[in-house]
């Protein structure tokens, strides 16, 4: 066995795990690692971000699209605390990350040493696993365990708190990939009985509805989902993070569920006789008021995480398992049913939404440019092939509602935590992960300014992301709520924007501005034709609202179609 310094063991271990890119920022306690990294740059690409929050969101963008852990490397103290938001975001959205944080030396731990923070204490509730590495002899073991835990079962973030001693000591090195932890069962065996019970329930149902989430992509179950739906002729709706698992034009796909979801999906959740939830966790943005959610229906919940079953929605049958395996097993037992009336009801509701909401949002005849039409134009002109990344707010909901998808892995957004500032670095990480794909970010003027420092990274690394700024001079989402539910009192939502052209020029980012509808398509085309980083600043309607909307405190059948019209069920 050969002997190496801890920091070198770390590099070798990362290479063993197939790491090709890391996002990071150096500093005192991680300097030994950066010094070793200096000799490894031919094998490990390091992206120097401008703020550690940028590193962690970029790693999330990378991880989501590559379906493997994103790697972050930061120094102790402020470096580590700056990644907290991203770690919490990754935990909420089941994104695999391995975060390597420097830590002071063993003798200084607990002494309030310079740049000492209790990283283990701080990150315990927001990590799948965290571990303080105290000696070089533990480094390889900890790294292999970190990658295994981060990317197996329900994925999530892992933090390794690397003490200085562990990085500078020498130890024997041998790498053993971890694929087993005796207390951890990432995947449970399928129960033949529950598959049969589920198949019987589905085959007996006249009006089944599938709601699926991120779990479909995580378990690589897109094909199995499609087969299962086709065999049973079952309509399906997606959560925000499930978007792009099915092509938008797939005949049984009905759109998005939840607060700003499609009318048919929400109405029919409360009309179906059987709700089949796949790889989703009944987030409150999806269910709204639980006491009136799908009360009429029997419910089957398929999820890899046993803790999700019966957590919020009480179900008739819970199946703990990998979506791919469960759906494949179910598909074999499906009986095709015509379901003419049931499917037509979806179409009828779509028609209502089309006339009342979608057309005015994407084909307005006059007035200011609307966010929806921008998303629609980008989607059309990119042929539904782009990776759509969003920030948080109205821009996110509009991007989710009006993007068309041809392929899976085409939608990246901060769902569970709803982190403004996620978009720009996540788009950067996604583009670095898949340089051959077009990556378009939709972002508001508020969210862009939260992590705008990453323009620097984009410039330095020449990351050709296309940034579509939906500029409404305000915090649109909050403004919408204040307008609708807080008596129109617009409290601290107006923003004076910087000169984005000057900013873009300062960072060597191509820039164009759109102020009227007739410029829109040509400007989008020009942006898509460019192979450089690009900022398209589009001045959109300031008082635009995202509709339909199921407001706070309402059940999902209680839907606003506009500021002054609610959906009424036709009998």
Options 288-296, 348-356, 414-422, 514-522: segment touching ligand TPP (CB under 6 A): 414-422
Q: Which does 416 bind (CB under 5 to 8 A by kind): ligand TPP, another protein, none?
A: none
Rg over CA atoms, the chain:
24
Q: Report yes or no: 513 and 537 within 8 Å, Cβ to Cβ.
A: yes
Return the residue of 247, 418, 456, 551 that touches ligand TPP, per CB under 6 A: 418
The tokens describing 142, both together, are 């900890």
| Minimal distance, residue 99 CB to another protein, in Å | 16
The full length of the chain comes to 571
By C-beta, is 25 or 129 nearer to another protein?
A: 129
132 binds, among another protein, ligand TPP, none (CB under 5 to 8 A by kind): another protein
The single residue among 416, 476, 533, 548 that binds ligand TPP, judged by CB under 6 A, is 476
The residue written with tokens 């200011």 in the block is 368
Residue 360's binding partner out of ligand TPP, another protein, none, with CB under 5 to 8 Å set by partner kind? none
By beta carbon distance, the residue nearest ligand TPP is 444
The two three-digit tokens of residue 446, written as one number? 């508020």
Burial per residue of 100-133, b for 16 or more beta-carbon CB atoms within 10 angstroms, e otherwise: bbbbbbeebbeeebebbbebeebbeebbbbbbbb
From candidates 67, 187, 311, 356, binder to another protein by CB under 8 A: 311
Contact region with another protein (CB under 8 A), list: 120-128, 255-263, 412-420, 470-478:
120-128
Which of another protein, ligand TPP, none has residue 82 at its interface (CB below 5 to 8 Å by kind)? none
Q: How far is CA 230 from CA 201, 233, 333, 347, 502, in A?
A: 17, 5, 12, 17, 52
Q: Which CB atom, from 289 or from 473, has the smaller least distance to ligand TPP?
A: 473
Nearer to ligand TPP among residue 142 and residue 399 (C-beta): 399
CA 479, CA 457: separation in Å to the nearest integer? 31
Please state, as a whole number, how many other Cβ atoms lie within 10 Å of the Cβ of residue 344. 10
Backbone φ and ψ for 222, nearest 5 degrees, come out as -60, -45
Q: Does 478 bind ligand TPP (CB under 6 A)?
A: yes
What is the distance between the alpha carbons of residues 454 and 405, in angstroms, rounded to a whole number? 27
Q: Which of the choices another protein, ligand TPP, none does residue 305 contact, using the CB cut-off of 5 to 8 A by kind?
A: another protein
Q: How far is CA 513 from CA 88, 286, 504, 522, 535, in A?
A: 35, 35, 11, 11, 8
Query: First-to-last CA distance in the chain?
Result: 77
Site string for ligand TPP, 216-255 (x = CB under 6 A): ----------------------------------------
Q: How far is the CB of 84 from another protein (least distance, A)?
A: 15
Nearer to another protein, 306 or 456 (CB): 306
- Provide the minimum distance between the beta carbon of 70 and ligand TPP in the complex, in angstroms, as a whole number: 20
Within positions 153 to 192, which residues make up the interface with another protein, using CB under 8 A? 179-184
> Contact, 148 vs 181, CB < 8 A?
yes
| Cβ 90 vs Cβ 121: under 8 Å | no
**Contact between 69 and ligand TPP per CB under 6 A:** no
Residue 283 touches ligand TPP, criterion: CB under 6 A? no
User: Per-residue DSSP letters for 493-556?
Assistant: -B-PPP-HHHHHHHTT-EEEEE-SHHHHHHHHHHHHH--S-EEEEEE--TT----SB--TT-BT
Contact code string over 212-241 relative to another protein, x by CB under 8 A: ------------------------------
User: Minimal CA–CA distance to 100: which of 173, 154, 150?
Assistant: 150
Q: Which does 476 bind (CB under 5 to 8 A by kind): another protein, ligand TPP, none?
A: ligand TPP
* Residues in contact with ligand TPP by the rule CB under 6 A: 391-395, 418-421, 444-447, 470, 472, 475-478
* Residues in contact with another protein by the rule CB under 8 A: 120-121, 124-125, 128-129, 132, 149, 179-184, 305-307, 310-311
């Amino acid at each position: 066995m050969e002997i190496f310094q801890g920091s070198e063991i770390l590099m070798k271990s990362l290479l063993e795990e197939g790491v090709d890119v890391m996002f990071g920022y150096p500093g005192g306690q991680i300097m030994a690692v950066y010094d070793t990294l200096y000799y490894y740059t031919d094998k490990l690409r390091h992206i120097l971000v401008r703020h550690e929050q940028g590193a962690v969101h970029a790693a999330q963008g990378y991880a989501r699209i590559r379906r493997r852990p994103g790697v972050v490397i930061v120094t102790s103290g402020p470096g580590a605390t700056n990644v907290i938001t991203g770690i919490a975001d990754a935990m909420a959205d089941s994104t695999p990350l391995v975060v390597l944080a420097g830590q002071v030396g063993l003798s200084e731990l607990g002494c309030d040493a310079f740049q000492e923070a209790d990283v283990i204490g701080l990150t315990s509730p927001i990590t799948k696993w965290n571990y303080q590495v105290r000696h070089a002899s533990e480094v390889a073991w900890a790294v292999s365990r970190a990658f295994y835990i981060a990317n197996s079962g329900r994925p999530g973030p892992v933090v390794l708190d690397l003490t200085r001693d562990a990085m500078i000591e020498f130890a024997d090195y041998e790498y053993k990939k971890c694929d087993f932890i005796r207390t951890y069962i990432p995947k449970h065996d399928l129960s033949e009985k529950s598959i049969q019970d589920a198949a019987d329930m589905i085959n007996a149902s006249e009006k089944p509805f599938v709601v699926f989430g991120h779990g479909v992509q995580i378990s690589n179950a897109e094909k199995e989902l499609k087969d299962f739906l086709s065999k049973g002729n079952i309509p399906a709706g997606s959560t925000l993070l499930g978007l792009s698992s099915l092509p938008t034009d797939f005949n049984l796909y009905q759109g998005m569920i939840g607060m700003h979801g499609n009318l048919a999906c929400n109405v029919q959740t409360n009309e179906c006789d059987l709700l089949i939830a796949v790889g989703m966790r009944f987030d409150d943005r999806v269910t709204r008021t639980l006491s009136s959610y799908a009360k009429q229906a029997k419910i089957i919940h398929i999820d890899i995480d046993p803790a999700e079953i019966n957590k919020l929605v009480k179900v008739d049958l819970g199946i703990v398992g990998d979506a791919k395996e469960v759906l494949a097993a179910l598909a074999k037992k499906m009986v095709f049913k015509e379901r003419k009336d049931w499917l037509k009801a979806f179409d009828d509701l779509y028609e209502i939404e089309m006339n009342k909401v979608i057309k005015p949002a994407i084909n307005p005849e006059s007035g200011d440019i609307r966010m929806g039409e921008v998303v629609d134009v980008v989607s059309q002109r990119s042929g539904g092939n782009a990776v759509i990344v969003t920030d948080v707010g109205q821009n996110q909901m509009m991007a989710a509602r009006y993007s068309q998808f041809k392929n899976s892995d085409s939608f990246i957004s901060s769902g569970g935590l709803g982190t403004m500032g996620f978009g720009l670095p996540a788009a950067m990480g996604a583009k670095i992960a898949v340089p051959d794909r077009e990556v378009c970010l939709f972002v508001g003027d508020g969210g862009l300014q939260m992590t705008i420092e990453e323009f620097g990274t984009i410039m330095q690394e020449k990351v050709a992301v296309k940034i579509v700024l939906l500029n409404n001079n305000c915090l649109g989402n909050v403004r919408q709520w204040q307008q609708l539910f807080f008596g129109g009192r617009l409290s601290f939502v107006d923003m004076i924007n910087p000169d984005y052209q000057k900013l873009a020029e300062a960072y060597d980012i191509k820039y164009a501005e759109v102020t009227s509808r007739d410029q829109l398509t040509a400007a989008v085309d020009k942006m898509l034709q460019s192979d450089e980083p690009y900022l398209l600043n589009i001045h959109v309607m300031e008082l635009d609202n995202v509709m339909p909307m199921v407001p706070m405190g309402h059940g999902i059948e209680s839907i606003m179609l506009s500021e002054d019209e609610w959906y009424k069920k036709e009998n």
